[in-house]
Amino acid sequence: MHRKPPNMPTGVSIGLISEGQDKVGVLTFETLGEDISIAINLQAVDVINKALNAIGQELRK
C-alpha cells in the first residue's frame, strides 16, 4: 500500500486563509522530516472526519 513508511507527526497546527468571502483552512502536520500542509474546505472537513473516525474504530479493535 505505502511505498515508504509514513511520517509520524510530532505536532499539528491549524490556520485560516481568507480572501474576501472565501475561506480555506490550513492543517499542518509537523514531522521530523518536513512539515506537510493541506488546504481544507468544508467538503474536505467532512471527508477527513469520516476517514479519522474509520481509523479510530480500527485502532480500538
How confident is the model at residue 4, as a pLDDT?
79
The pLDDT tens digits for 38-61 are 999 999 999 999 999 999 999 999
Give CA separation, 7 vs 13, 23, 42, in Å: 16, 28, 25
Q: How far apart are CA 38 and CA 53, in angstroms?
A: 19
Q: Is 61 helix (H, G, I), strand (E, B) or coil?
A: coil
Comparing CA positions, the residue from 24, 36, 30 lying closest to residue 12 is 30
Comparing CA positions, the residue from 16, 38, 42, 39 lying closest to residue 29 is 38
Asked whether the predicted pLDDT for residue 1 surpasses 70, the reply is: no
Grid cell for residue 49: 472526519
Higher pLDDT, 55 or 7: 55
